[in-house]
A and B are shown apart, each in its own frame.
Chain A
């Protein structure tokens, strides 16, 4: 059974940093593209970033480029999202998602999602 378990969220002041983690199990983690998708309270879904199987290629949405860093540790089956210079508009539930494909270059489709971790940015 595929399981994705996020952690690391919380209440953070604007301008501070936070690192989210996602522990994966139930599949060969190193074989799949992984991603982060967020959802602001009562809002829709917004893709944030994706990372290739080896970690050497990453994609980000424009609004987070330079502030967010996606990374992975295939030895630990863990995905990360480093969030710097937090803004109020980053307040959201952050989901870790497994991509269907093994290539980051096409088909950004997600078949399994974690339960999500809440990040609240407020002074």
Chain B
């Protein structure tokens, strides 16, 4: 199985700041990387797929990038509604595997 190592496990940031969350794949996943946002008590929402493609309806302050097997989610101009847990997922092969999650807290 492809292992997804996500970091950091948690972070705290202020409104208006920019944060970056990273995910390292254990092998080449050919840009088949998705990011999800999950708010407490809610189901995951797809934000980004294919490493950098924005899902319909997702604000443009969310962006994704890659460098080799390292993938990043950047959130610009943090808003209060961005407080959530973020997960990466490789969608290259079965079984699809997720990172451990990053809990983003707003100061």
Which residues of A pack against B, CB within 8 Å?
Answer: 44-47, 50, 59, 61-62, 95, 100, 107-116
Which residues of chain B in 39-54 are interfacial with respect to chain A, using CB atoms and an 8 Å cutoff? 42-46, 49
Is B94 within 8 A of A108, CB to CB?
yes
Is B101 within 8 A of A44, CB to CB?
yes
Specify which of A50, A100, A115 is in contact with B43 (CB 8 Å cutoff). A115
Specify which of A47, A62, A112, A115 is in contact with B96 (CB 8 Å cutoff). A47
Could you write out 14 A-B pairs with CB less than 8 Å apart? A45-B36, A46-B98, A47-B95, A47-B97, A47-B98, A62-B95, A107-B32, A107-B91, A108-B93, A108-B96, A109-B49, A109-B96, A110-B46, A115-B42
Q: Does B99 contact A (CB under 8 A)?
A: yes
Is B91 within 8 A of A108, CB to CB?
yes
Q: Which residues of A contact B96 (CB under 8 A)?
A: 47, 108-109
Specify which of A45, A100, A115, A116 is in contact with B49 (CB 8 Å cutoff). A100
Q: Which residues of A contact B97 (CB under 8 A)?
A: 47
B36, B87, B89, B95 — which one has the most chain A CB atoms within 10 A of its CB? Answer: B95
Beyond the given A44-B99, A59-B94, A59-B95, could you list 7 further A-B residue pairs with CB under 8 A, ordered by the A residue number? A45-B44, A45-B98, A47-B97, A47-B98, A110-B44, A112-B46, A115-B43
Q: Which residues of A contact B99 (CB under 8 A)?
A: 44
Residue of B nearest to A61 (CB): B95
Is A111 within 8 A of B55, CB to CB?
yes
Is A44 within 8 A of B87, CB to CB?
yes
In the bound assembly, the distance between CA atoms of A107 and B49 in angstroms comes to 10
Q: Which residues of A contact B43 (CB under 8 A)?
A: 95, 113-116
How far, in Å, is B57 (CB) from chain A's closest CB? Answer: 11
In the bound assembly, the distance between CA atoms of A100 and B50 in angstroms comes to 12
Residue of A nearest to B45 (CB): A113
Specify which of A45, A59, A61, A115 is in contact with B89 (CB 8 Å cutoff). A45
